[in-house]
Chain A
Amino acid sequence: MNLAGTINTRTLPLLVTSALFALLFGFGSVSYDNFFSVQVFLNLLIDNAFVTVVAIGMTFVILTGGIDLSVGSIVALTTMVTAALVEQHHWSIWAVVPLVLTMGALFGLLMGSLIHYFRMQPFIVTLGGMFLARGLCYVISIDSIAITDPTYAAVSEYRIAFGEEAFLSVSAIIALLTLALAIFLAQYTRFGRTVYAIGGNERSALLMGLPVGRTKMLVYTLSGFCSALGGVLVTFYMLSGYGLHALGLEMDAIAAAVIGGTLLTGGVGYVAGSLVGVMILGVIQSLIAFDGSLSSWWTRIAIGVLLCSFCLMQRLLERGGTNLGFLFSYWKKPEEQADAVK
């Protein structure tokens, strides 16, 4: 495939996002000492590992044209259950992690079933899921539970070195592996392509004989699983379970997906874009931290502006795309067009 063919209205948002990331990172490198280093870059991955994983699940949901508002709450619930089981019941990490992952997936499956079988709005169903999961956290405990289990601390502090000065955490590796799997799932499996087809035109997808209902349920299951995995990564990061963890994470995940080029109406976008989206959110935070004089709330302002301008860009591209279509006259030869004018 040639380069010109690769750059089209579908891939352009992703390219713009990547360029913007490079620009922001470059800006930081010029403005602040010590900003330009491999480790600052890797720290973005480490600090945002859980957001990345959650955003990946969210991307699949948005690609079908749905939305999942429950992800932040499932993350919190996962940290709570993990902390309670590890600390109060002294379960092994190897038993707890599979359990909470299954729990997250089942939670997603439940919401997906409601959405599919009862034709309920994803917004409402997952809003309900959000309240439910957040509420369940406080049933376990109102306070934060610190995790002091030695195995847990060891996994949390383990660093994989790259060269002399750069390293990655276990969480970041898990996030990157999840991303690789998700890209494969989206681009090279029937499930992934059905997800795109549903987002493109659900009625057509049905008429083409695709398993629409099953895929929709699976997408929410996947998102629930990714949220639970994100929750596990949060426990590695924070070493605690708390009902107030990951407040508003669902919005960050949606923002990352949209900035990464995924259309909220579904059908268009790339999983990899969501990683870039997360990284952009991360680099803005780093810039503000390096500056030191700005309130951290400036992150929100920057994200707000970015989000709106990205939606605007996509809309303009969409419009431009239809105009571009006229430039490529696929079968009207020049002389035929001249005839048409007469």
Chain B
Amino acid sequence: MAAEPVLVMQDICKSFPGVTALKDAQLRLFPGEVHAVMGQNGAGKSTLIKVLTGVETPDSGEILLNGRAIQPESVDAAQKLGISTVFQEVNLCPNLSVAENIFIGRFPMRGLAIDWKTIEREAQAALAALNIHVDVTRTLSEFPVAIQQMVAIARALSTEAQVLILDEPTSSLDEDEVERLFDALRELKRKNIAILFVTHFLDQTYAISDRITVLRNGEFVGEYPASELSRLELINAMVGREIDEAGYAAQDGESTSPHAERPFVSVQGLGASGRIHPIDLDIYRGQVLGLGGLLGSGRTETARLLFGIDRAESGTIAIDGAPVRLNSPRKAVRQGIAFCPEDRKTEGIVADLSIRENIILALQARRGIFRYLPRRVQSAMADQFIKQLGIRTPDAEKPIGQLSGGNQQKALLARWLATEPKMLILDEPTRGIDIAAKLEIMDLVKAQCRKGLAILFISSEMSEVLRVSDRIAVLRDRRKVGEIDGKAADEQSVFRMIAGAEA
């Protein structure tokens, strides 16, 4: 290493009530280097950035900027110290001009009036330094997200930043746009700016980073030069080689053979730019297809395309051999597809309604309001599901918000099972619930599958995917890289596939 680090974070600890977000985290940023911070969900990346940018105050530990201890108290204060941040969603005003977005808050004045001429000239120059040549008087919203991202970077840099933090800047960009962003970053490296780059994409990490710091469960795993860390080593460092709880990882012996030779859903070349590269999937009745991959690899995106939430730009979907167009969730539901979304709290349960009402919701919606389910039928149904799925509650009339996460998830499962779907998409059904409940949910999934349901199972826990899936489609950086048999595979074989040929 050529120089002294410009910024050092030492032994940073931060806990929130009930969780230790960071424990003795370390980070060193060198001028003229791109430093990637990698880690799974909940590894502490975002907390680390929040501490660095003054959004959160660390419980203990030191931040040294040019050898001097600092304590930024707000994003603004951090910026004044020379630490600028570009957040994941572009935090600019879409209705203002490009130039204005770069300078608002510190307009140069000429007497009482804003000096627009200077602003336009300097904005043009600031963007030119990033190799962007656009008409800065145009409204920001007229430009694609990548340009907006660049404008945000130009704004961050216009305050003489020494450290630039990019929090997942590429998550909504397509490949050309990412390349464009990287060009700009290389330009900044030449100007000796230290760049902290957070991303989920392995390829991008290796394409731009000089140094990689890995965090896991809030703890510092290690700092490595990017050239000396293989992909497989990186993945292993990120996920760790923890011993799973007893019986957690093992497949439960008996295999579920497909009930039909022909796939229920057959997807060919389904893709949308900026979401997922064209992907082929076959999902059979009576089988669980797992989607394996790291965070951001395109798991949820695939599910959303399949369910018609996002519009696919290419590819075909066939159900029982007949081509269909699934461009809205309604159409997908009519084809017998049900979707359990990732975010249980905001997209799933209606917390104030009772368990019964939550279970009945999707079925009633499908029947329409004119074919009201009699209360007696509703209660019978709710009771049946409560018994069948083992939802722990005194009765069906309790508001669902008062149940534990695992029981809420079971009730959601019941909601979709009540509509008697032919295929069920489960996006992270086990997130945020305890291990016993996880096992129960997975067993329920298997049980439903044996009844002939086709299931697409998504989870960021690879061991869970391995446990329930008959086949696993492996994704990396929004691309399907292969498919493995669920029984034969173990975590290492999946990770090797994710890491690709280089490992």
Residues of A within 8 A of B (CB): 1, 5, 8-10, 184, 187-190, 193-194, 196-197, 199-201, 203-205, 207-210, 267-268, 321, 324-325, 328, 330-332, 336, 340
Q: Shortest distance in angstroms between A186's beta carbon and chain B's nearest beta carbon?
A: 11
Residues of B within 8 A of A (CB): 75-76, 79, 87, 91-96, 100, 104-105, 107, 112-114, 116, 134-135, 137-139, 141-144, 146-147, 155, 176-177, 180, 273
- Give the residue name and chain of the A residue nearest to B144 (CB): A330
- Give the residue name and chain of the A residue nearest to B131 (CB): A331
CB <8 Å contact, A197 and B104: yes
- Give the residue name and chain of the A residue nearest to B140 (CB): A200
Given contacts A189-B114, A196-B93, A197-B96, contact A208 B104 (CB under 8 A): yes
CB-CB under 8 A from A268, the residues of chain B are 95
CB <8 Å contact, B176 and A10: no
CB <8 Å contact, A203 and B91: yes
CB-CB under 8 A from A205, the residues of chain B are 93
Looking at B92, B93, B114, B139, the one whose CB has the most chain A CB atoms below 10 A away is B93
- Give the residue name and chain of the B residue nearest to A63 (CB): B95
CB-CB under 8 A from A188, the residues of chain B are 112-114, 116
- Give the residue name and chain of the B residue nearest to A206 (CB): B91
CB-CB under 8 A from A200, the residues of chain B are 93-96
Q: Shortest distance in angstroms between A334's beta carbon and chain B's nearest beta carbon?
A: 13
CB <8 Å contact, B91 and A184: no
Complex CA distance for A182 and B76, rounded to whole angstroms: 30
CB-CB under 8 A from A328, the residues of chain B are 142
Residue from A1, A189, A207, A331 in contact with B91 in the complex, judged by beta carbons closer than 8 Å: A207
CB <8 Å contact, A331 and B100: no
CB <8 Å contact, B139 and A210: no
CB-CB under 8 A from B146, the residues of chain A are 331
Looking at B76, B138, B144, B147, the one whose CB has the most chain A CB atoms below 10 A away is B144
CB-CB under 8 A from A340, the residues of chain B are 176, 273
CB <8 Å contact, B137 and A321: no
Complex CA distance for A331 and B133, rounded to whole angstroms: 9
User: 8 extra interchain contacts, Cβ-Cβ under 8 A, other than A209-B75, A210-B104?
Assistant: A5-B138, A193-B100, A193-B114, A194-B104, A196-B95, A199-B95, A200-B96, A207-B87
Complex CA distance for A193 and B93, rounded to whole angstroms: 11
Given contacts A8-B138, A325-B144, A328-B142, contact A201 B113 (CB under 8 A): no
16 inter-chain pairs at a CB distance below 8 angstroms, sorted by A residue, are A9-B139, A10-B95, A189-B114, A193-B96, A200-B94, A205-B93, A208-B93, A208-B105, A208-B155, A209-B105, A210-B105, A325-B143, A328-B142, A331-B176, A331-B180, A340-B273
Enumerate the 9 nearest inter-chain pairs by beta-carbon distance, A residue then B residue, closest first: A200-B93, A200-B95, A267-B95, A188-B113, A204-B91, A197-B93, A207-B91, A209-B76, A209-B105
Complex CA distance for A311 and B470, rounded to whole angstroms: 54
CB-CB under 8 A from A9, the residues of chain B are 139
Complex CA distance for A340 and B179, rounded to whole angstroms: 14
Complex CA distance for A86 and B276, rounded to whole angstroms: 73
Residue from B91, B107, B144 in contact with A193 in the complex, judged by beta carbons closer than 8 Å: B107
Residue from A5, A184, A193, A330 in contact with B143 in the complex, judged by beta carbons closer than 8 Å: A330
Q: Shortest distance in angstroms between B234's beta carbon and chain A's nearest beta carbon?
A: 29
Given contacts A190-B114, A193-B104, A330-B147, contact A201 B176 (CB under 8 A): no
Complex CA distance for A200 and B139, rounded to whole angstroms: 11
Looking at A184, A193, A197, A208, the one whose CB has the most chain B CB atoms below 10 A away is A208
Residue from A5, A197, A267 in contact with B137 in the complex, judged by beta carbons closer than 8 Å: A5
CB-CB under 8 A from B94, the residues of chain A are 200-201, 267
CB-CB under 8 A from A8, the residues of chain B are 138-139, 142
- Give the residue name and chain of the A residue nearest to B106 (CB): A209
Complex CA distance for A205 and B92, rounded to whole angstroms: 7
CB <8 Å contact, B176 and A204: no
